[in-house]
Every structure is written in structure tokens, then in C-alpha cells.
Amino acid sequence: MDNKRGPNDLEEQIDMLTKQKEYLQKKCREAGDKYNALEKEYDKVCEERDNFVTMLGDGKDDTRWVKKKDILIWIK
């Protein structure tokens, strides 16, 4: 008798699906780590932009940048 498992064998399918699940979980974690790093970088850029806008608003004239709904508007 041949004991070789075929592609329709339930144990083989369970083994393949388990490996697929582990692979996808690993990739999701990697994507989450990249997302978190990008989010931190974005927050830094926004903070630098806000600091720059604050510096522009401290001029002698009354012109300045104003943030409205995440859009910068130049006001005279």
C-alpha cells in the first residue's frame, strides 16, 4: 500500500493552510511596523511644518499662515 499523501489529503491541506496563515501573519506584522514608522515620521514632519508656520507668523507685518482643516492658508 502506498502511504504517500496527496493534495486532497486533509492533513496535507491543514499543514499548507497553517503555513500560509503563519506567513500572512508575519507579513501583516512587518506591514504594521512599517506603517508605525511612517506615522512617526509624518508626525515629525507635521510638527516641523507647524514650527515653521509659527515662525512665519512672527514677522513685523500681519501676514501669516493659518491652518484650517489640515490646509495652510496665507492670510494678509
Q: What is the pLDDT of residues 15-71, one digit of tens each?
A: 999 999 999 999 999 999 999 999 999 999 988 888 887 777 655 555 566 666 666
The pLDDT confidence band at residue 8, using thresholds 50, 70 and 90, is confident
Are 76 and 63 in contact by the 8 Å Cβ rule? The answer is yes
Domain ranges of the chain: 10-75
Q: Could you tell me the pTM of the whole model?
A: 0.55
Cα–Cα distance, 15 to 73 (Å, whole number)? 58
